[in-house]
Amino acid sequence: MSDNNAPLTIQKVRDLITEKHNTLLDENDPILMLVTMHRAFLDEFELMLNQQTTVAEEHMNEHVKAFATEVRKSTNILLSKAVKANVENCIAEIGQHQEVMSNFLSTIKTWSLFAGIMLILSITTTLSVLVWGS
């Protein structure tokens, strides 16, 4: 027998027995019925194995889909938490900038009031010098 993966046939069994035992079996020898029975059992086993493989693949696909769904949910939850934290951080930063800008605006108002007073004093001094002389 040269091809060990080929299906078992009656002729292959006859050739094998002839080769290994130097006995030639007739084509109608009852011992060859075992070949037919074994081939039928093997065919049935292969059918059952293929069915079980299909069922196992379906179960694996279901589990993979369920796992992928759970991973997607977890990822979305983590992403949502990260986005929420980022937004809260941005709001806090904006609050700090708003406080700094409020202080800056207050300082500008104070300096503009001071500049206004200085302008009035300058104008008054200039007018008094013009009117009353030096």
List, as one string, the DSSP characters of 76-132.
HHHHHHHHHHHHHHHHHHHHHHHHHHHHHHHHHHHHHHHHHHHHHHHHHHHHHHHHH
Residue showing tokens 């004093």: 121
Tokens of 119: 């302008």
Is the pTM value of this prediction over 0.75? no
Tokens of 27: 């084509």
Mean pLDDT of 48-59: 94
1 pLDDT more than 50: no
According to the model, what pLDDT value does residue 134 have?
A: 59
**Is 17 exposed, middle or buried (CB count within 10 Å of its CB: 0-12, 13-18, 19+)?**
middle
Q: Give the Å distances, CA to CA, from 66 to 43, 57, 60, 119.
A: 35, 14, 10, 77
Question: How does residue 53 score in pLDDT terms, banded at 50, 70 and 90?
Answer: very high
